[in-house]
Amino acid sequence: MSDVHLLISPEAGRGRAAKATETVLTTIRAAGHTPIDLTGPTAAASAEAAQAAVDAGAERLIVVGGDGLVHLALQTVAESATVLGVVPVGTGNDFARGLDTIPDETAAATQVALGEGQALDVIRSEAGWIASVATAGFSGDVNDRANRLSFPRGPSRYTVATIAELPTLRVRDVRLTVDDTVHEFRSALLAVANTGWFGGGMHIAPEANPTDGLLDITVVGDVGRFELLRFFRLVFSGRHMSHPDVHSLRGSRVEIEADGLDLWGDGELIGTAPVTLEAATAGVLVAR
Protein backbone atom coordinates (compact mmCIF):
# COMPACT_ATOMS: atom_id res chain seq x y z
CA MET A 1 0.00 0.00 0.00
CA SER A 2 1.49 3.31 -1.04
CA ASP A 3 0.91 6.77 -2.39
CA VAL A 4 0.31 6.87 -6.15
CA HIS A 5 1.12 10.19 -7.81
CA LEU A 6 -0.94 11.36 -10.79
CA LEU A 7 -0.75 13.85 -13.62
CA ILE A 8 -4.04 14.44 -15.43
CA SER A 9 -4.63 16.32 -18.68
CA PRO A 10 -8.27 17.45 -18.43
CA GLU A 11 -8.55 18.42 -22.10
CA ALA A 12 -6.76 15.39 -23.58
CA GLY A 13 -8.81 13.25 -25.94
CA ARG A 14 -11.44 16.01 -26.28
CA GLY A 15 -12.22 15.82 -22.58
CA ARG A 16 -11.88 12.04 -22.30
CA ALA A 17 -9.20 12.36 -19.61
CA ALA A 18 -11.42 14.46 -17.38
CA LYS A 19 -14.23 11.91 -17.72
CA ALA A 20 -11.83 9.05 -16.92
CA THR A 21 -10.44 10.63 -13.76
CA GLU A 22 -13.06 9.27 -11.35
CA THR A 23 -12.58 5.73 -12.67
CA VAL A 24 -8.80 6.08 -12.26
CA LEU A 25 -9.14 7.34 -8.69
CA THR A 26 -11.66 4.63 -7.76
CA THR A 27 -9.43 1.89 -9.19
CA ILE A 28 -6.38 3.17 -7.31
CA ARG A 29 -8.29 3.34 -4.02
CA ALA A 30 -9.81 -0.12 -4.55
CA ALA A 31 -6.25 -1.46 -4.84
CA GLY A 32 -5.51 -0.01 -1.40
CA HIS A 33 -3.41 2.97 -2.52
CA THR A 34 -3.74 6.69 -1.92
CA PRO A 35 -3.92 8.83 -5.09
CA ILE A 36 -2.11 12.16 -5.01
CA ASP A 37 -2.95 14.51 -7.88
CA LEU A 38 0.08 16.62 -8.85
CA THR A 39 -1.66 18.40 -11.72
CA GLY A 40 -0.97 22.13 -11.70
CA PRO A 41 -2.65 25.06 -13.44
CA THR A 42 0.00 24.98 -16.18
CA ALA A 43 2.22 22.39 -17.78
CA ALA A 44 5.23 24.00 -16.12
CA ALA A 45 3.59 23.78 -12.70
CA SER A 46 2.71 20.11 -13.28
CA ALA A 47 6.28 19.37 -14.35
CA GLU A 48 7.67 21.12 -11.27
CA ALA A 49 5.36 19.17 -8.94
CA ALA A 50 6.21 15.87 -10.63
CA GLN A 51 9.94 16.57 -10.40
CA ALA A 52 9.63 17.35 -6.71
CA ALA A 53 7.76 14.08 -6.10
CA VAL A 54 10.34 12.04 -8.02
CA ASP A 55 13.19 13.77 -6.20
CA ALA A 56 11.47 12.86 -2.92
CA GLY A 57 11.40 9.19 -3.91
CA ALA A 58 7.94 8.71 -5.42
CA GLU A 59 7.44 5.04 -6.25
CA ARG A 60 5.03 5.65 -9.13
CA LEU A 61 3.76 8.42 -11.40
CA ILE A 62 0.66 7.68 -13.49
CA VAL A 63 -0.29 9.96 -16.39
CA VAL A 64 -3.91 10.20 -17.46
CA GLY A 65 -3.78 11.76 -20.89
CA GLY A 66 -1.99 11.52 -24.21
CA ASP A 67 1.51 11.56 -25.65
CA GLY A 68 2.15 15.17 -24.63
CA LEU A 69 1.64 14.31 -20.97
CA VAL A 70 3.78 11.18 -21.32
CA HIS A 71 6.52 13.41 -22.75
CA LEU A 72 6.20 15.85 -19.83
CA ALA A 73 6.31 13.07 -17.24
CA LEU A 74 9.29 11.41 -18.91
CA GLN A 75 11.42 14.48 -18.26
CA THR A 76 11.06 13.77 -14.54
CA VAL A 77 11.10 9.96 -14.32
CA ALA A 78 13.83 9.09 -16.85
CA GLU A 79 16.86 7.47 -15.19
CA SER A 80 15.06 7.35 -11.82
CA ALA A 81 13.55 4.54 -9.75
CA THR A 82 10.02 5.93 -10.23
CA VAL A 83 7.72 3.71 -12.29
CA LEU A 84 5.75 5.46 -15.04
CA GLY A 85 2.18 4.29 -15.54
CA VAL A 86 0.06 5.33 -18.53
CA VAL A 87 -3.72 5.56 -18.83
CA PRO A 88 -4.01 6.44 -22.55
CA VAL A 89 -6.97 8.77 -22.94
CA GLY A 90 -5.43 11.28 -25.36
CA THR A 91 -6.04 11.77 -29.06
CA GLY A 92 -3.08 9.84 -30.44
CA ASN A 93 -1.85 7.56 -27.64
CA ASP A 94 1.12 6.49 -29.78
CA PHE A 95 3.36 5.59 -26.84
CA ALA A 96 0.77 3.20 -25.41
CA ARG A 97 0.09 1.83 -28.89
CA GLY A 98 3.81 1.17 -29.33
CA LEU A 99 3.94 -0.93 -26.17
CA ASP A 100 0.93 -3.01 -27.25
CA THR A 101 0.26 -4.09 -23.65
CA ILE A 102 -1.75 -1.15 -22.28
CA PRO A 103 -5.55 -1.52 -22.63
CA ASP A 104 -7.78 1.24 -23.99
CA GLU A 105 -10.38 0.70 -21.25
CA THR A 106 -9.71 3.06 -18.34
CA ALA A 107 -10.04 0.74 -15.34
CA ALA A 108 -8.00 -2.00 -16.99
CA ALA A 109 -5.31 0.49 -18.01
CA THR A 110 -5.16 1.82 -14.45
CA GLN A 111 -4.67 -1.69 -13.11
CA VAL A 112 -1.78 -2.18 -15.54
CA ALA A 113 -0.35 1.21 -14.48
CA LEU A 114 -0.26 -0.06 -10.89
CA GLY A 115 1.78 -3.11 -11.88
CA GLU A 116 5.49 -3.85 -11.92
CA GLY A 117 7.73 -1.62 -13.98
CA GLN A 118 9.76 -2.89 -16.95
CA ALA A 119 12.96 -1.17 -18.04
CA LEU A 120 12.52 0.36 -21.49
CA ASP A 121 14.76 2.45 -23.73
CA VAL A 122 14.12 6.13 -24.35
CA ILE A 123 15.72 8.68 -26.67
CA ARG A 124 18.16 11.17 -25.20
CA SER A 125 18.54 14.57 -26.87
CA GLU A 126 20.20 17.82 -25.89
CA ALA A 127 16.74 19.24 -25.19
CA GLY A 128 15.42 16.36 -23.11
CA TRP A 129 13.96 12.87 -23.30
CA ILE A 130 11.72 11.41 -26.02
CA ALA A 131 9.47 8.43 -25.38
CA SER A 132 8.33 7.43 -28.86
CA VAL A 133 9.49 9.14 -32.06
CA ALA A 134 11.51 12.18 -33.07
CA THR A 135 10.50 13.51 -36.47
CA ALA A 136 11.40 16.31 -38.86
CA GLY A 137 10.48 17.64 -42.27
CA PHE A 138 6.92 17.49 -43.55
CA SER A 139 5.66 15.64 -40.47
CA GLY A 140 7.13 18.32 -38.22
CA ASP A 141 5.56 21.07 -40.34
CA VAL A 142 2.18 19.34 -40.04
CA ASN A 143 2.62 19.02 -36.28
CA ASP A 144 3.41 22.71 -36.00
CA ARG A 145 0.37 23.73 -38.03
CA ALA A 146 -1.91 21.32 -36.13
CA ASN A 147 -0.78 22.80 -32.82
CA ARG A 148 -1.79 26.25 -34.08
CA LEU A 149 -5.26 25.17 -35.21
CA SER A 150 -8.15 25.80 -32.86
CA PHE A 151 -10.55 23.81 -35.05
CA PRO A 152 -11.24 21.00 -35.70
CA ARG A 153 -10.35 19.06 -32.57
CA GLY A 154 -9.20 15.47 -32.39
CA PRO A 155 -7.43 13.44 -35.10
CA SER A 156 -9.12 15.34 -37.95
CA ARG A 157 -7.03 18.36 -37.00
CA TYR A 158 -3.96 16.54 -38.39
CA THR A 159 -5.82 15.75 -41.63
CA VAL A 160 -6.62 19.43 -42.09
CA ALA A 161 -3.03 20.39 -41.25
CA THR A 162 -1.65 17.84 -43.74
CA ILE A 163 -3.79 19.19 -46.58
CA ALA A 164 -2.88 22.78 -45.67
CA GLU A 165 0.86 22.00 -45.61
CA LEU A 166 1.04 20.09 -48.91
CA PRO A 167 1.39 23.20 -51.12
CA THR A 168 4.47 24.24 -49.14
CA LEU A 169 6.15 20.81 -49.12
CA ARG A 170 9.93 21.19 -48.90
CA VAL A 171 12.54 18.57 -49.70
CA ARG A 172 15.75 19.20 -47.79
CA ASP A 173 19.34 18.02 -47.97
CA VAL A 174 19.88 15.99 -44.82
CA ARG A 175 23.08 14.46 -43.51
CA LEU A 176 22.72 11.62 -40.98
CA THR A 177 25.65 10.17 -39.09
CA VAL A 178 24.52 6.85 -37.65
CA ASP A 179 27.10 5.25 -35.35
CA ASP A 180 29.90 7.06 -37.23
CA THR A 181 28.63 6.11 -40.71
CA VAL A 182 27.50 9.06 -42.85
CA HIS A 183 24.37 8.94 -45.01
CA GLU A 184 23.16 11.81 -47.20
CA PHE A 185 19.61 12.18 -48.49
CA ARG A 186 17.24 14.52 -50.22
CA SER A 187 14.42 14.06 -47.73
CA ALA A 188 10.82 15.13 -47.36
CA LEU A 189 10.43 13.52 -43.97
CA LEU A 190 12.47 11.59 -41.44
CA ALA A 191 11.70 9.83 -38.19
CA VAL A 192 13.95 8.45 -35.46
CA ALA A 193 11.95 5.88 -33.52
CA ASN A 194 12.17 4.19 -30.15
CA THR A 195 8.68 2.77 -30.51
CA GLY A 196 6.91 2.16 -33.80
CA TRP A 197 4.06 4.69 -33.97
CA PHE A 198 3.58 8.43 -34.38
CA GLY A 199 1.02 10.92 -35.68
CA GLY A 200 -1.99 9.24 -34.08
CA GLY A 201 -1.60 5.76 -35.50
CA MET A 202 1.00 5.90 -38.28
CA HIS A 203 3.25 2.83 -38.11
CA ILE A 204 6.34 4.74 -39.15
CA ALA A 205 8.93 2.21 -37.86
CA PRO A 206 7.40 -1.28 -37.78
CA GLU A 207 10.58 -2.95 -36.46
CA ALA A 208 11.23 -0.49 -33.62
CA ASN A 209 11.72 -2.20 -30.26
CA PRO A 210 12.12 -0.19 -27.02
CA THR A 211 14.23 -2.93 -25.43
CA ASP A 212 16.96 -3.44 -28.06
CA GLY A 213 19.14 -0.39 -27.34
CA LEU A 214 18.75 0.85 -30.94
CA LEU A 215 16.97 3.61 -32.81
CA ASP A 216 15.07 2.83 -36.02
CA ILE A 217 15.41 5.59 -38.61
CA THR A 218 12.93 5.99 -41.47
CA VAL A 219 13.74 8.46 -44.24
CA VAL A 220 11.23 9.44 -46.93
CA GLY A 221 13.24 10.66 -49.88
CA ASP A 222 12.72 13.15 -52.70
CA VAL A 223 8.99 12.72 -53.32
CA GLY A 224 6.36 15.10 -54.64
CA ARG A 225 3.04 16.08 -53.12
CA PHE A 226 0.93 13.33 -54.68
CA GLU A 227 3.48 10.63 -53.89
CA LEU A 228 3.66 11.86 -50.31
CA LEU A 229 -0.12 11.49 -50.01
CA ARG A 230 0.26 7.92 -51.24
CA PHE A 231 2.93 7.38 -48.58
CA PHE A 232 0.54 8.54 -45.86
CA ARG A 233 -2.09 6.07 -47.04
CA LEU A 234 0.46 3.25 -46.67
CA VAL A 235 2.05 4.30 -43.39
CA PHE A 236 -0.90 3.38 -41.15
CA SER A 237 -0.36 -0.27 -42.00
CA GLY A 238 3.43 -0.13 -42.21
CA ARG A 239 3.37 -0.99 -45.93
CA HIS A 240 5.33 2.17 -46.74
CA MET A 241 8.59 0.38 -45.93
CA SER A 242 8.59 -1.33 -49.33
CA HIS A 243 8.34 2.00 -51.18
CA PRO A 244 11.48 2.67 -53.29
CA ASP A 245 11.85 6.18 -51.83
CA VAL A 246 11.72 5.00 -48.22
CA HIS A 247 15.05 4.20 -46.57
CA SER A 248 15.61 2.42 -43.25
CA LEU A 249 18.64 2.70 -40.96
CA ARG A 250 19.36 1.51 -37.43
CA GLY A 251 21.88 2.52 -34.79
CA SER A 252 22.34 3.61 -31.21
CA ARG A 253 23.29 7.22 -32.04
CA VAL A 254 22.30 9.55 -34.87
CA GLU A 255 23.47 13.07 -35.66
CA ILE A 256 21.07 15.07 -37.85
CA GLU A 257 22.40 17.96 -39.91
CA ALA A 258 20.26 20.13 -42.20
CA ASP A 259 19.70 23.84 -42.70
CA GLY A 260 16.69 25.20 -40.84
CA LEU A 261 15.30 21.79 -39.91
CA ASP A 262 13.15 21.68 -36.76
CA LEU A 263 12.95 18.44 -34.81
CA TRP A 264 9.85 17.33 -32.90
CA GLY A 265 9.71 14.65 -30.21
CA ASP A 266 6.43 13.11 -29.01
CA GLY A 267 4.68 16.00 -30.76
CA GLU A 268 6.72 18.65 -28.94
CA LEU A 269 9.30 20.97 -30.54
CA ILE A 270 12.70 19.97 -29.17
CA GLY A 271 15.19 21.91 -31.27
CA THR A 272 16.70 22.78 -34.63
CA ALA A 273 19.40 20.82 -36.46
CA PRO A 274 22.15 20.01 -35.84
CA VAL A 275 20.73 17.60 -33.24
CA THR A 276 22.16 14.42 -31.76
CA LEU A 277 19.87 11.62 -30.58
CA GLU A 278 20.98 8.58 -28.59
CA ALA A 279 19.25 5.43 -27.36
CA ALA A 280 19.31 5.46 -23.57
CA THR A 281 19.16 1.75 -22.79
CA ALA A 282 16.74 0.89 -19.97
CA GLY A 283 16.27 4.62 -19.38
CA VAL A 284 12.80 4.44 -17.84
CA LEU A 285 10.66 2.01 -15.84
CA VAL A 286 7.20 1.62 -17.35
CA ALA A 287 4.28 -0.40 -15.95
CA ARG A 288 3.03 -2.64 -18.75
pLDDT in tens, 25-63: 999 999 999 999 999 999 999 999 999 999 999 999 999
* pLDDT at position 218: 98
* pLDDT at position 199: 83
pLDDT in tens, 259-285: 989 999 998 999 999 999 999 999 999
The rounded distance, in Å, linking the Cα atoms of 253 and 86 is 27
pLDDT in tens, 145-158: 777 776 776 666 76
Domain with CATH 3.40.50.10330 in the chain: 3-115
Can you give the pTM of this predicted structure? 0.92
On average, the pLDDT of the chain sits at 92
**Mean pLDDT, rounded, for 136-140:** 87
Res 229 pLDDT > 70: yes
pLDDT in tens, 105-124: 999 999 999 999 999 999 99
* pLDDT at position 259: 94
Task: Determine the 3-state secondary structure of 93 from DSSP.
Answer: coil
What CATH architecture is 3-115?
3-Layer(aba) Sandwich (3.40)
Res 11 pLDDT > 70: no
The rounded distance, in Å, linking the Cα atoms of 190 and 139 is 8
Domain with CATH 2.60.200.40 in the chain: 130-281
Q: CB–CB of 123/280 below 8 Å?
A: yes
The identity of residue 16, as a single letter, is: R
Burial category of 204 from C-beta neighbours within 10 Å (exposed 0-12, middle 13-18, buried 19 and up)? buried
The rounded distance, in Å, linking the Cα atoms of 140 and 145 is 9
pLDDT in tens, 55-97: 999 999 999 999 999 999 999 999 999 999 999 998 779 999 9
Res 161 pLDDT > 90: no
Q: Lowest mean pLDDT of 11-25, 75-89, 206-220, name the range.
A: 11-25
The rounded distance, in Å, linking the Cα atoms of 68 and 74 is 10
% of the chain exceeding 70 in pLDDT:
95
What CATH architecture is 130-281?
Sandwich (2.60)
- When mean pLDDT is compared over 79-83, 136-140, 196-200, the highest value belongs to 79-83
**Mean pLDDT, rounded, for 194-213:** 94
**Mean pLDDT, rounded, for 225-236:** 85
More confident residue, 238 or 232: 238
Q: What is the DSSP letter of 202?
A: B
Query: Which of 57, 60, 64, 19 lies closest to 39 in space, CA to CA?
Result: 64
% of the chain exceeding 90 in pLDDT:
75
Peptide bond into 167 cis (omega under 30): no
**DSSP of 249-272, one letter per residue?**
EEESEEEEE-TT-EEEETTEEEEE
* pLDDT at position 15: 65
Q: What is the DSSP letter of 240?
A: G
Res 14 pLDDT > 70: no
